[in-house]
Amino acid sequence: MTTASGYVVQPEITLPAGATQINISQDGIVTALVAGAIAPEEVGQLTVANFANPRGLQPIGESFLVETPSSGEAVIGNPLAEGAGKLLQGSLEASNVNVVQQLVEMIETQRAYEVSSKSISASDEMMRYISQNL
């Protein structure tokens, strides 16, 4: 099995020649249905890696990340075991950030800052006027 970019998936799983259907369960078990067979055969088990500090991983491109001293060592385990999460066949993980919403919130924050800054300047002017005229 390889990724769309051609990298071998680890742990390496070899699919039988003539496999007509491949299925990956939520717990990472890979099965393949070979032409002429009645039932699919189990060909491997995918594992997942957890890190103490996932934000410490270093991106290297193509959605790949590498371990760093700040991320901690990888804890390899099976999906659905010890809170490792599950696998979803045919799904692509997307960003959890809504760019438009974040941009709108940033503009709102900037405008609130401008209003606060102007009100402080106006208050400063009034205090200066009062202190010079009294």
Please check the confidence at residue 36 and state whether its pLDDT lies above 90.
Answer: no
Contact between residue 71 and residue 63 where contact means Cβ atoms under 8 Å apart: no
pLDDT of residue 116: 95
Beta bridge partners, 64, equal: 61
Structure tokens at 76: 């390899």
Q: Sign of the C-alpha dihedral, residues 107, 113, 116, 121?
A: negative
Please check the confidence at residue 89 and state whether its pLDDT lies above 80.
Answer: yes
Q: How far are the Cα atoms of 18, 23, 46 from residue 42, in angstroms, in the given order?
A: 15, 9, 12
Please check the confidence at residue 55 and state whether its pLDDT lies above 80.
Answer: yes
Structure tokens at 27: 């717990």
Contact between residue 53 and residue 67 where contact means Cβ atoms under 8 Å apart: no
Please check the confidence at residue 95 and state whether its pLDDT lies above 80.
Answer: no
pLDDT of residue 123: 94
In this prediction the pTM is 0.62
Confidence of residue 67 (pLDDT cuts 50, 70, 90): very high
3-state secondary structure of 70: coil
